Amino acid sequence: MGLLPLFLYPNHAVGISQILTMKHNRLFKLFPFLFLPLALLILAFAYPSKEGSKDLKKLLSYMEGSYENAEQAQKDTNYFHVKLHMKQIWPSDEKAYWIYVEQALVKAPQKPYRQRVYKIYEQGGEFISEIYTMKQPLRFVGAYKDLSLLGALTPDSLELKRGCEVRLKKYKKGFKGATGIKTCASELNGASYATSIVDIQKDMLISWDRGFNDAGEHIWGIDKGGYRFVKHK
């Protein structure tokens, strides 16, 4: 496939702490049960469950699957012929969905050039897709079709690519979003930062990744538009 809006959980967490530590408040001492529903209500909004968001479930269903850009690569040789696979992992997490991602040239499926784990969750009206890297990722090749290969992988073994999260908004056809401005560091081919623009639809995913130097000059990535991946299963 960041800063938190001011009304989200940091302030709420402080509010809850203040409520629960009102040792000298007579009303709290006499009627503590009155404050419990309020605290629980605030917690529910501060840390929403993924199960309560139909749109987040829809985003997961749109993302998960196997994709290919065969038609695009055939029509325009500037685009490599690529296969993309995304598979949900760790479903027991109550706050977010995790997705294993594998991307490779069709002619070299056993040597993927990109393996990632995405963590998607809802926050303040947006859908956040955090990007994580893995140590020795080639040992997990093919895990999208055999999850047992991920037996040695755990959330705490991942490394977050800070500033590279994609913030998505729902629209008529699906979900659109991008990385922040100059927030995702990249040293590839002399670049200073990378950007990613994403459009996720029910049967298509468009991904446009580019790198730029400090002056904002385009360094890497195709300049005419993103890769258009069509879902086939």
Give the whole-number percent of the chain exceeding pLDDT 90.
77
Report the run of H or E that residue 61 belongs to, with start and end. Answer: helix 54-63
> Would you say how long the chain is, in residues?
233
Identify each DSSP E strand in the chain by its residue range.
65-68, 82-89, 97-105, 114-123, 126-133, 159-160, 166-171, 174-178, 184-185, 193-201, 204-212, 218-220, 227-231
Query: What is the rounded average pLDDT of the residues 190-218?
Result: 97
What pLDDT is attached to residue 18?
44
Considering the chain, tell me which residue range(s) the CATH 2.40.128.590 domain(s) occupy: 50-231
- How many CB atoms sit inside 10 A of residue 206's CB? 18
Q: In Å, how far are 17, 120, 123, 124 from 38, measured between CA atoms?
A: 12, 28, 21, 20
Q: Which of 96, 103, 100 is nearest to 87 (CA)?
A: 100
Q: What number is the average pLDDT over the span 221-226?
A: 95
Does 46 or 231 have the greater pLDDT score? 231
| Residue 176 pLDDT exceeds 70 | yes
| CA dist., res. 164 & res. 6, Å (int) | 21
Q: Which two tokens stand for residue 39?
A: 């605290």
- Per-residue pLDDT at 49: 64
CATH superfamily of 50-231: CpcT/CpeT domain (2.40.128.590)
Distance CA 56, CA 49 (A): 10
pLDDT tens figures, 19-68:
344 444 554 454 454 444 444 444 444 445 666 689 999 999 999 999 99
Average pLDDT over residues 71-88: 97
Tokens of 95: 């706050």
Tokens (6 digits) for 119: 């963590």
In which band, very low, low, confident or very high, does the pLDDT at 1 lie, cut at 50, 70 and 90?
low
136 — pLDDT class (breaks 50, 70, 90) = very high
Q: Is the model's pLDDT at 202 over the cut of 90?
A: yes
Which pLDDT score, from 0 to 100, does residue 51 have?
Answer: 65
Q: Which position has the higher pLDDT, 151 or 13? A: 151
Q: State the CB neighbour count (10 A cutoff) for residue 128.
A: 19
Which pLDDT value is given to residue 101? 98
Share of the chain above pLDDT 70, in %: 78
Residues paired with 123 in a beta bridge: 126
Q: Is residue 157 classed as helix, strand or coil in its secondary structure?
A: helix
Does the pLDDT of residue 219 top 60, yes or no? yes
Structure tokens at 104: 């490779």
Return the closest-CA partner of residue 65 out of 132, 144, 174: 144
